[in-house]
């Protein structure tokens, strides 16, 4: 299992050498806000609203002191905008009150912030602080089960189990590679099995079309993948 998991990771690394977080950000605070906003929407949509949001509220103190209605207007197109506004403003308040407005670089502290769970915390740790973390989003869950790495459905259990299969130094990159692969080829409904570079190693090969020509039509471009949740 460990050998196969690491081989799959190597193949994905060769397939997606530039795999990275597709949310636009310049610092840990911006990534934290963007990740909270990304729930139930696409990274493309989030990237459309955050330039105005960050220009208007560049710091946690600015966002904490904002008029909620003004924030709601900016983030409205991301969906669930009232709940998201409450989360990002509550998070900003907590940063100001507890951490002098700075994002803490530790999991146990991040998950105490409003709107921040382990998935969001690991995104920030891995991509803003360089601290290895496994991001168990819907793509990661689906692919890890298809690869036979886990039978768990609980994200925390999946994170723990897969953490034993791949070197810790690879956790963040592995997360991005699985997310990219899930958005581009290993779709939920019709995975592009016939155009999949890890097909020889995948126990779920055949869940989608295996004919190369048919499968090739299912592969999403970079722009299309950014539109995928």
Any idea which residues carry the catalytic annotation? 119, 137
**DSSP character at residue 105:** S
65/178 Cα distance (integer angstroms): 38
Cα 84 from Cα 75, distance rounded (Å): 8
CA quadruple 108, 104, 80, 186: dihedral, nearest 10: -70
Residue pair 163/15 in contact (Cβ under 8 Å)? The answer is no
Q: State how far the Cα of 98 lies from the Cα of 112, in Å rounded to an integer.
A: 11
- Helix 28-37 crosses helix 43-56 at what angle (to 10 degrees)? 130
């Amino acid at each position: 299992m460990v050998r196969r998991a690491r081989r799959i990771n190597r193949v994905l690394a060769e397939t997606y050498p530039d795999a990275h977080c597709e949310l636009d950000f310049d610092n840990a605070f911006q990534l934290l806000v963007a990740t909270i906003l990304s729930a139930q929407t696409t990274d493309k949509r989030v990237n459309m609203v955050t330039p105005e949001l960050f220009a208007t509220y560049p710091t946690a103190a600015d966002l904490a002191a904002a008029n909620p209605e003004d924030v709601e207007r900016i983030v409205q197109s991301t969906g669930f905008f009232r709940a998201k506004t409450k989360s990002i403003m509550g998070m900003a308040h907590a940063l100001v009150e507890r951490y002098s407005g700075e994002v803490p670089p530790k999991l146990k502290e991040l998950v105490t912030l409003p709107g921040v769970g382990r998935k969001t915390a690991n995104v920030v740790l891995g991509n803003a602080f360089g601290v290895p973390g496994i991001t168990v989003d819907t793509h990661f869950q689906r692919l890890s089960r298809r690869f036979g790495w886990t039978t768990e459905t609980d994200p925390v259990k999946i994170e723990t189990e897969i953490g034993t299969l791949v070197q810790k130094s690879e956790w963040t990159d592995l997360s991005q590679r699985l997310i990219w692969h899930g958005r581009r080829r290993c779709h939920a409904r019709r995975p592009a099995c016939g155009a999949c570079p890890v097909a020889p190693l995948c126990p779920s090969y055949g869940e989608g079309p295996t004919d190369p020509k048919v499968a090739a039509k299912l592969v999403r471009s970079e722009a299309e993948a950014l539109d995928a949740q």
